[in-house]
Each structure stands twice: as structure tokens, then as C-alpha cells.
Structure 1
């Protein structure tokens, strides 16, 4: 056992054996070794030589034979000239730039192989910026690709995965059309992999849950009074929104009920006119069914557990299988 973890090494799949106790040695808080093998958090690093193994930074390590990323060999990299170019390990979540004598490369944070080689790059002027961006004297890069037509002099990295220059607004290094770069504002809060932003012309939601993001304009949103609330809700002076759904409720008197568990995919809210329930589908792309509960007593309505609720007259039972509300008398 090492730090409460059982340390084993592979013999021949599916068999493993415990680490050699007599020669076992802790290298640091992440790595350990014995005379046979090297371990990372108790897991065997296949092929690592315990005599020459050296931990590096940003999840990399090396020995006389190879460069490793976590528990895996990084194939095709010159071990003698290998260098990590990221300076801040807090930036690793956006991916890592590294180099050897043959070029500059990019690898996503949890990927093994393949990594990407940056093409047509000026190695002497290459510089890692932040949030997955980098530059040389000729281009701006996001991850491993060139941001086409980016203006070098006015390019600015914003929050999260956003950037802009004098001509374009970008997300994940790609242009977002029809956004006014002079007036664009990014809201700091996001929900369920969705970002909110606005410009002089409207309010927008960027949905990043799939590899190809989707941008939706909230058609009737008032840009001056639009604000982020919580758990996917936003509002302006006229309406309340749940993601890109406009709800027919009064934004001035609305109250959003706190749910015990978000994973059950049901939400309740009320205004002066009634109680409303929103049920989320479990299959992507997600859809939302919004219903007003009939004959409910607003004053005594309360949330129970597991998506259920009650008032003085009825129980409202959430049918998880059919995604419906079953109303029963008390």
C-alpha cells in the first residue's frame, strides 16, 4: 500500500503482482518505484526504467528511453531535446505545448496520443500565451491550429475560451459571425456547458455540450436589463428564460425553488399567477417540457425530495420513467 493505494504492476494481462516491498521507494507525492517498475498514483507505468526515471512537470516524466505523459509513452519525441513550453500548470486544463529538436506540439490535457504538430511555425518567436493560445511572429494559434485572419496587433484573449481582435470575435479559436466586437460583453456565469454574451444587437447563448458548438440568439431579450440568475435561469425587464426557452411568467414576482438534487432533471418555480414545472429530457440534445400546474394552492406549495412536491390539497409525484407529474389528493 502507498498513500492508501494498492500498488501493483502488470505481468501478463490480466495478471498483476504487488510491488516489491524491499526495494519500494517513494519518489514524490505522485511517483514511486521498486527495482522492477515505476508507479504513478499506484498505477504501473508500462516500460519505464526505474533506474533512470525522472519526474518532470505538467504530467510528464522521462527515462533513458522515453518521454511519458501520465502513465503512457509519448511516441516519436526526442527525449534529449524535449521541453514543456507552458509556464503555468494552472493553464494545463486548456492543453499543453511542448517541443523537441524537430518542432512544436500540442496535446490536450487528458489525451495520450496522438498529439498535434504545429505546421509552418516560427520556432524562434513562438510564445505560449494563456487559455490554450500561443503566437509567433506570423500567426495566432489556438491549440494546434492557426486562427485564420486574426489581427496580430489588436488580438486580445478574453475570459474562458473567448478572444477578439478589431475585426472578429472568436470562441475556441473559431469566428462567431454577426457579433459586434466593439460592444460584446461576456457574462461570467455559465450553466451546463453554456455561455452567455451580449452586444448592442442582442443576447446570445453558446452551447458547448457537443464538439460543434451551437449559438442561439434570445430573440426578445432586452440587452440593457438582461441578467444571469441561477441554475440556467436568466431574466430581463419583460421575461424569464430557462436557457433559450422564454417562460410565460412574471419576472418581477418569480421565485425559483431550490431543488435537492439537480440530477433528477426537474425544476419548479412560481410567480403571482401560479406554479410551473420544467422537466428535462435525459437524451441529448436535451429538450424541456414546461407546464403550469392546475388548481395548485400557491401559498402552501412546497418542494419535497426526489422531484416531488405538495400543497394543502394535493401531492405532486414526479414519474422519473415517463417524465410526468402524477397529481394525487392528500
Structure 2
């Protein structure tokens, strides 16, 4: 009996010791607002731990004032004198700082991005006007909506200023945008395979051409009797037809216009459309040939 009690006591002490030294988070500050801000389990501190998963995602002991701290949303919070993001104090104007319903982060002086140059600290979106900065088009699908913004003077894509006209600019798909005067390529990355790197640029490429706009798929757009895309080394291709009777999407890279197959912006008139069949791993075939990336 004594041995059992000794073993039980050791087990309880071990559990309490592990809990005391390893547990980092205690009660949430305000669970209704944030699932990531907590009181420290044993210190008089505010802790930021993403979704409370300190074991896998880590935690940060904030220097905020414990008595006055309140979360603003999941990752933002403030105390009586400072604003915090992920527990870190941010260099913003305290009195006018806000995160609005659209997710726009701003104060009276600047608009901010969470993709700043310094990790875990807000970056300033240069030349953005905090008074007029807003969503470009609230009707866009969510993943597009949160990428496009405008102010009184410019259009911004993923926090970068573009040459687009804020009054008439419209992204059409993942690759092409227009305003009343120009056509733009939306470039997400450059390079191939392991050498690819993100750029997130919007580049003015061509004067706007006349005609009705029809989005063919995520990468091709028909404007009048022309089809435009942002593939090729030039990052823009315009194919003009005498007339366009029909278009057909094959996949992300490939469409058919009338009886011409276009692959990554390059027309392939030698391919027989009637017998064309895409295969796996970049291969395809028609009645006469087998192709790899649409090359015989």
C-alpha cells in the first residue's frame, strides 16, 4: 500500500511539474473576439499563441499591459497606449488605428500590410491614401476580393500600386485585367519549377481594343475578335481572328478558338482539333501525332 501511494504521489508531482514548467497559456483574454490571445498560465503576461496551439505553432510573450489589454480580432489587440499584432507592439498611430470590416489596416497616416519586410511587423503600403483606400470591387470572389484595392488615385494589387485607372479598372480572371484605356497582364510568378518565385505584378501591356469581353477560363479572355493571355516570355499574347465563332476550354493552359488550339498563349494550327485528346503528365495526341506540352 505504501509503495502504491509513493508511486501515485510521484506521478501527481510529475504531472504538476510538467504543467507548471511547460504550459504556457491559461485562460483566453476574450474568446469571443480572439482564439489566440491568452493570459500566461503562471506569469503576469499576455501571450499570443495561434489558435491556442502553443505546442505546434509556438507562442509569444507580449509586453502589453495585462490589466488594459483587449483583443481587436484574432491577431490584433491593444492596451491603454499601444497596438499589438501577434503580440508584438506596432509602430502605428494609436488614436486612429483601425482594422475595418474589409480587413483594411490603417491609421490617419498610412495603410498597412501584414506582408511587411520585417517578419511579424506591419509594413506600410507606400503612397496609399488612408482616407479613400477601399476594396476595388466587393462583388469579387473572396480570394480575389482581398487582393484588389483602390484609393482615389490608384489601384493596388496585393499591396503594390499599379497603373490601372481606379474608376474603371476590372480584373477579368487570374491573368488579365482591363480599364477603359488599356489591357493588363497579372503576373503571379516568374521562373519554372524549383526556380519559380513570386512577383505579384500588374503590367500595362496593350491599348484597350474594341469589342465585347468574354472570359474563357482563368487564363484566357476574348475581347471582340481577339483572344489575350499572359503566358509566353513576353507575358502577354494577343491573337486576332477574322471572326470568332466559338471558344472551348481544354484546361488551365489550353483553349480552342474556332478550329485552332492555343497552348500557353501559342497557337498550334497543326493539331487536329476533332481528334485531339489531352493525356496525363503534359502529353496529348490527335489522330496523327503524340505531343508533349503541345509539341510533336
TM-score class, shorter-chain normalisation, is 0.5 to 0.7
Q: Does 1:59 align with 2:42?
A: no
Query: For residues 144-159 of structure 1, what are the structure 2 equivalents within 5 Å?
Result: 144-147=122-125, 150-158=128-136, 159=145
Question: Structure 1 residue 230: deviation in Å?
Answer: 1.0
Conservation of the 8 A alpha-carbon contact between 2:244 and 2:258 = no
User: Partners in 2 of 1:247 and 1:131 — Cα distance?
Assistant: 35
Among 167, 183, 187, which residue is 1:203 paired with? 183
User: Partners in 2 of 1:223 and 1:170 — Cα distance?
Assistant: 25
Conservation of the 8 A alpha-carbon contact between 1:254 and 1:272 = yes
User: Partners in 1 of 2:284 and 2:98 — Cα distance?
Assistant: 56
Deviations 1:289-317 (A, max 9, x none): x35253x4332333334433333x32414
Question: Structure 1 residue 181: deviation in Å?
Answer: 2.6
Conservation of the 8 A alpha-carbon contact between 2:216 and 2:248 = no
Among 250, 268, 288, which residue is 1:292 paired with? 268
Question: Structure 1 residue 229: deviation in Å?
Answer: 2.2
Q: What secondary structure, in the 3-state scheme, does the structure 2 residue paired with 1:179 have?
A: coil
Deviations 1:216-243 (A, max 9, x none): 2231542653343213111211321232
Which residue pairs with 1:234 in the alignment?
A: 221
TM-score normalised according to structure 2 size: 0.63
Question: Over aligned residues, Cα RMSD in angstroms?
Answer: 3.8
Among 280, 290, 296, which residue is 1:316 paired with? 290
Question: Structure 1 residue 215: deviation in Å?
Answer: 2.0
Q: Does 1:248 align with 2:239?
A: yes
Question: Structure 1 residue 211: deviation in Å?
Answer: 5.4
Indicate how the Cα distance of structure 1 residues 133 and 245 shifts in structure 2: closer, same or farther if over 3 A, else same: same
Question: Structure 1 residue 160: deviation in Å?
Answer: 2.1
* Higher-helix-fraction structure: 2
Q: What secondary structure, in the 3-state scheme, does the structure 2 residue paired with 1:124 have?
A: coil
The count of residues paired between Structure 1 and Structure 2 equals 243
Conservation of the 8 A alpha-carbon contact between 1:104 and 1:117 = yes
Conservation of the 8 A alpha-carbon contact between 2:112 and 2:125 = yes
Q: Which runs of 5+ in 1 are unaligned?
A: 1-21, 24-33, 39-45, 90-95, 108-114, 279-287
Q: Does 1:258 align with 2:236?
A: no
Which residue pairs with 1:8 in the alignment?
A: none
Question: Structure 1 residue 155: deviation in Å?
Answer: 3.5
Conservation of the 8 A alpha-carbon contact between 2:96 and 2:107 = yes
Indicate how the Cα distance of structure 1 residues 49 and 161 shifts in structure 2: closer, same or farther if over 3 A, else same: closer
User: Partners in 2 of 1:317 and 1:136 — Cα distance?
Assistant: 56
Which residue pairs with 1:127 in the alignment?
A: 98
Higher RCO, Cα 8 Å, sep 6+: 2
Q: What secondary structure, in the 3-state scheme, does the structure 2 residue paired with 1:181 have?
A: coil
TM-score normalised according to structure 1 size: 0.58
Query: For residues 153-172 of structure 1, what are the structure 2 equivalents within 5 Å?
Result: 153-158=131-136, 159-172=145-158
Q: What secondary structure, in the 3-state scheme, does the structure 1 residue paired with 2:95 have?
A: helix
Q: Does 1:185 align with 2:165?
A: no
Query: For residues 96-135 of structure 1, what are the structure 2 equivalents within 5 Å?
Result: 96-101=75-80, 103-107=82-86, 117-121=89-93, 123-135=94-106
Conservation of the 8 A alpha-carbon contact between 1:249 and 1:271 = no
User: Partners in 2 of 1:133 and 1:216 — Cα distance?
Assistant: 24
User: Partners in 2 of 1:197 and 1:252 — Cα distance?
Assistant: 21
Question: Structure 1 residue 153: deviation in Å?
Answer: 4.3
Conservation of the 8 A alpha-carbon contact between 2:220 and 2:229 = yes
* Higher-strand-fraction structure: 1
Q: Which runs of 5+ in 2 are unaligned?
A: 1-10, 115-121, 137-144, 190-196
Q: Does 1:73 align with 2:64?
A: no
Question: Structure 1 residue 201: deviation in Å?
Answer: 1.5
